[in-house]
Each structure stands twice: as structure tokens, then as C-alpha cells.
Amino acid sequence: MKITLHKKIAAYFGYEFTRINNNIYQNQTLHTIELINRHNIDLVIDVGANMGQFTIDLRNAGYSGQIISFEPLIECYKHLQSIADDKWHIENYALGDSNATETINISHKTVFSSILNTNEFGRSNFSDSIKVVKKETIIIKRLDDVICELIDGIDKKKIFIKLDTQGYDNHVMLGAKNTLTHAHLLQTEVSCKAIYENTPPFYETLKKLSISGFNITGIFPLSRDKTSMELLEFDCLLVRTTN
């Protein structure tokens, strides 16, 4: 096999060139933007925005429509405010199945922060990344109770709901039953091997989504057991059925 000069140079310095994956069924961002375009999505509801990674990827991929992000951590919320554009609105509270005040565990890497407690497996598999360094008191609201205050004519919108709440997605969906009926697309983080306490098994989550009228379009692995290589979590993209 012919090895080109640029590959030899990269290998000398310990690097390797890889071809960018342009397959819409294998590249999550391309898959997502393809779904958004096919379904003419004009509103993205970003639940668990963290530092804005998801929205930034959408903007870079060409989505210019309206986005509402929900992020309870004050540090992340302030960052989002500093980078948001005119069509990107930020709310500083969490979503769930009740209107309440709760304590959230803030991990060393904020992407692991959760209302739920980490279990022993999660602590051993993610070590310092998931370690709780402090806690904050946050407000939780039901999406069904706030959506009409944020958006006029919700029934006329073509909605994509993205959930990433570290084991809490099921609670968010319970508080968003009416809003979900208007959603054309849905993304949720599904757990195969729980790293947080009281996380529902993946088969229950997928069954509920199917009953709610969604079919899977893509599964994208997020993390694996360091020892067994078992899949721990994946992002699941779904589309509302048409039959």
C-alpha cells in the first residue's frame, strides 16, 4: 500500500490522518442537520445545554433557526449568555416532571453534573471527571408549564427537542407530554449501564418512546466500560412516525 509523504511526516510526529466521515448515517452532526432540513425544523429546544456544544455544532452545520436552551448551572448559564446570538434564548433552570427546588451535583467536568447521585460503577468508570466538587440549589420546571410563555403558537412550530440531562431525561419527558406531541424530532441520551442512581434501563426508555410515537433514525455511542467495552450510553435520534 502506497504511503504518501504527508502521512509519513504525520506518523513521524506521532499523528495519523483520518478521512472526515461524511456519511449522514454515521456522523451524528450531519445526521442531525439532515433530519432538521428534511423536516423543516424551525425551533430547537435544547435541554441540558451545558456550555453550548450542541447548539454550536448546529450553527456550524448551517442551522440558523430559533433555539431555546435550558441550563441550570449558573457558571454554564453565564457562558451561554455571552455567546448566544439573536435567535438563541437561554433559560437558567432545569426541566423535570414537577415544579420544585432541588440540589444538583456539579462534577469536575460539568458535562457529568446531574440532579441524580452517581452510583459506584459511575464513580469507578469515570473517576475524577464525574467526581462531585460542589452543589448548587436550582429551580426545576415542567416544560409544558413554561413553553407557551416562551413561544407563541407552539402548535404551528416544527420542533426538535434535544435532551441531555445525565440520567434525568425521563423526568423531563414526563413534564413535557403535551409539548412532545408537537415535536417532529427528538434526541435523548439513553443509558445501557447506569452511572447514576435511579436511571431507567434502556429497553424501558425505548419502549416508552415507541409508544409515544417515535421511531429511531440513529444511535451514536457516547461512552463504554473501560474494561469490558460494553456500551454505557448513547445518543438516540428519533422521528415522529407518520403512520
pLDDT digits (tens, 9 = 90+) for 177-232: 999 999 999 999 999 999 999 999 999 999 999 999 999 999 999 999 988 999 99
Query: What percent of the chain clears pLDDT 90, i.e. is strictly above it?
Result: 86
Residue 109 — pLDDT band, cuts 50, 70, 90? very high
Q: Which residue has the cell 450510553?
A: 233
Comparing 29 with 242, the larger pLDDT belongs to 29
- Per-residue pLDDT at 185: 98
Residue 21 — pLDDT band, cuts 50, 70, 90? low
CA distance 2 to 7: 10
Give me the mean pLDDT over the 8-23 stretch: 65
pLDDT digits (tens, 9 = 90+) for 123-167: 999 989 999 999 999 999 999 999 999 999 999 999 999 999 999
Give me the mean pLDDT over the 65-89 stretch: 98
Q: Whole-prediction pTM value?
A: 0.90
Residue 233 — pLDDT band, cuts 50, 70, 90? very high
Residue 1 — pLDDT band, cuts 50, 70, 90? very low
- Per-residue pLDDT at 115: 98
Say yes or no to pLDDT of 17 above 60.
no
Fold classification of 24-96+142-240 (topology level): Rossmann fold (3.40.50)
- Sequence-distant (6+) residues with CB within 8 A of 240 are 183, 184, 185, 186, 213, 214, 215
- Per-residue pLDDT at 119: 96
Taking all residues of the chain, what is their mean pLDDT, rounded to a whole number?
93
Task: Give the residue extent of every domain in the chain.
Answer: 24-96+142-240
- Half-sphere exposure in the Cβ direction for 56 (13 Å, CA): 9
State phi, psi for 63 to the nearest 5 degrees: -75, 125
